[in-house]
Amino acid sequence: MPEGGLAEFPVKLADAGLTAPGAIAIGVGAVQGAGSNSIEWIGETSIADGAAESAGFLQVTGGTGVNTVQLTVDNGFAFAENGAASLTLEVVDISSPIYAAETGSDATGLGTEAQPLRTITRAMVIAAAVPDIEVIVGPGAYNAAAGEVFPITVPPSTTITGTMGANQDASDSAVVDAEGVAKALLLPEGIPASLTATATRSPRSTSAATKARPRPRSEPGSARSQLRIRPPAAR
Higher pLDDT, 137 or 235: 137
- 104-141 pLDDT per residue, tens: 999 889 899 999 999 999 999 888 877 889 999 999 99
Query: How many Å from the N-terminal Cα to the C-terminal Cα in the chain?
Result: 30
Sketch out the chain's domains with CATH numbers.
6-93 (2.60.40), 95-218 (no CATH)
182-208 average pLDDT score: 49
pTM comes to 0.60
Average pLDDT, the chain: 82
Sign of the C-alpha dihedral computed for residues 109, 111, 114 and 119 taken in this order: positive
Whether 78 shows a pLDDT value over 70: the answer reads: yes
Residue 157 has pLDDT above 50, yes or no: yes
Helix, coil or strand: residue 234: helix
pLDDT of residue 230: 83
